[in-house]
A and B are shown apart, each in its own frame.
Chain A
Amino acid sequence: MLKLEHITWSTPDGVKILDDVSLEVPDKKLIAITGPNGGGKTTLAKVMAGILTPDSGRVLLDGQDITKLDVTQRAHKGIAFAFQQPVRFKGLTVRTLIEIAAGGEVSYTSLCDHMAAVGLCARDYLDREVNSTLSGGEMKRIEIATVLARKARLSIFDEPEAGIDIWSFAGLIKTFDALRQRPEGTLVIVSHQERLLRIADEIIVLAGGKLTRRGAGEEMLMSLISSGDAGTVCEKKEAMIGE
């Protein structure tokens, strides 16, 4: 179990982004973090992955204090992170990136499985460079594939729907649904998407740097929609995706 205790984090120029946030991420659950833009969601996800170190508070994994562990050390502890804006690499192929993620050579069958899970054909993509010839949507899917390849115990996805085209959104939901069935996986998803929130075991609302609400998935979702919590669930986007 991942536990955050009284986490605060401010920007270098002193703007407080996280203000005394405490929460637990139980094993084998899918936890969605939602809330208005600028509420601190991405920052919180980065604190979990060790990309940011909190000003105060503790991060515990199975009771062990991992607050001071850096990104690499957290990766070795089994924490994976999918960036909201995937980075491009001139020269590195999709295959290389997935093999780095898996920690060694990966069989063609497994590579196919990882690629198929994000709606891409391995044959068309494995030997392509992860460079500017790939579209934003393709980059996003490859980013998710690198996290799938890690087979991590805790996978954190920062707005996985951003940049994903409408056609592949249904596939993305299916992928997360399948992931949550895996025995080893705990998932944290930062999202505004109703259909992603709908498959969450628990939804956490972060606003103004504070954890304002939390509750069981379906119940919280209904409550968020009926309260019209602005910026939490985008109805227009939902309508487009529902078409």
Chain B
Amino acid sequence: MNEITKTLLDLISDWDGKFKGAYNLRVDGTCAGRQSSDNIAILSKEDKPGLEIRIRPGTKGESVSIPACVTHGDVDDLVYNDFYIGEMADVTIVAGCGVHTTTGEPARHNGIHRFFLSPGAHVKYVEKHVGLGSGEGLKTIDPVTECFLEKDSVLEMDTSQIGGVDRTTRETKATLGEGARLIIRERLLTEKDQTAATLFTVTMKGDGSAADVVSRSVARDTSRQEYVSTVIGEAKCTGHTECDAIISGKAQVDASPRLFARNEDAQLIHEAAIGKIAGEQILKLRTLGLTEQQAEEKIVEGFLS
């Protein structure tokens, strides 16, 4: 494992010299290491690049990590990973992606992840994306996530992209059955001329289902972000979607939280707020001894934490 891979792994996974539990490490489009466990089987797909990950019913407290690293330019990696989580399992899935290039050649990773949660399953899904390297080649990460939540299952998705990725389109779709719950927390930072598009579509089909989709982002310099979140209530359900963005410089943010009610018992709420850091916030931190720049950094750090 070279130093670039180690650096990327530090940022995107729970790797600390070794992985805890089951893992599959993908580097530059090929498998660089794999470990299944008694309860978590990681298999290669036969028809296309990617993995099939099967988690036994009732598995508790285990984790599976599937980081993907692109360590140099001129790589365009595409991978399809499917997760099948058995009934009543309670697991953590970590799926980070790091892209690095020091040349003018572009580096891209496109991960298409599908999650199938059986009844009563509980998954904490952590996804971290980062771009590194001084090259002018565009660093691109385009994740697609599709989630199917059966009765009473819970998916907590914590997804972040804090810096370094030049272009990204992040598409997440979820379908919720009876009593299922989906909680999404997204954090995004764009700088320079980076662009990011986030598209969430959540369909609540079962009675008693609930979705809470919250995105916080910071757009600096001349970067641009687009946020479209569509929450569809087709049953007796509750849905909430929120987008909060801090802008500075000449950055642009378009936010469109959308609610589609298709059942009279659907209760849906959306919120969106875009603005620069409030002057009184900076002033308060300056009275505590921080400079204006330190105050801004603290506010952004807290906002994206």
Contacts and interface: CB of A to CB of B under 8 A. Distances in A.
Q: Is chain B a partner of chain A in the same complex?
A: yes
Interface of A: 49, 51, 70-72, 75-76, 80-81, 83, 86-87, 89-93, 96-97, 100-101, 103, 146, 150
Given A87-B278, A91-B216, A75 B287 contact: yes
27 contacts: A49-B287, A51-B283, A71-B286, A72-B286, A72-B289, A72-B292, A75-B287, A75-B289, A76-B289, A80-B287, A81-B287, A83-B287, A87-B278, A87-B280, A89-B302, A90-B216, A91-B216, A91-B299, A91-B302, A92-B298, A93-B302, A96-B302, A97-B288, A100-B285, A100-B290, A101-B288, A101-B289
A76 B291 CA distance: 10
Interface centre among B216, B289, B304 (most CB of A within 10 A): B289
B162 to A, nearest CB: 13
Q: Which 3 A-B pairs have the closest CB atoms?
A: A91-B302, A92-B302, A91-B303
Nearest to A78: B289
Given A87-B278, A91-B303, 4 more contacts: A71-B286, A75-B286, A96-B302, A150-B289
Interface string B269-305: 0000000001011011111111110000011011111
A83 B288 CA distance: 12
B298 A100 contact: yes
A49 B289 CA distance: 12
B221 to A, nearest CB: 21
Interface of B: 216, 244, 278, 280-281, 283-292, 298-299, 301-305
What does DSSP make chain B's interface, helix, strand, loop or mixed? helix
Nearest to A129: B302
Given A71-B283, A91-B304, A91-B305, A150 B288 contact: yes
Contact of B287 (A71, A89, A91): A71
Nearest to A74: B287
A103 B298 CA distance: 13
A103 B287 contact: no
B301 to A, nearest CB: 8
Nearest to B286: A71
A93 B301 CA distance: 11
B283 A72 contact: no
Contacts of B283: 51, 71, 87
B21 to A, nearest CB: 27
B288 A75 contact: yes
Contacts of A92: 298-299, 302-303
B195 to A, nearest CB: 24
A118 B305 CA distance: 27
Interface centre among A87, A91, A101 (most CB of B within 10 A): A91
Contacts of A87: 278, 280-281, 283-284
A93 B298 CA distance: 11
Contact of B288 (A90, A91, A146): A146
B298 to A, nearest CB: 7
A100 B295 CA distance: 10
A68 to B, nearest CB: 15
A90 B287 contact: no
Contacts of A146: 288
A89 B285 CA distance: 11
A180 B298 CA distance: 32
A158 to B, nearest CB: 11
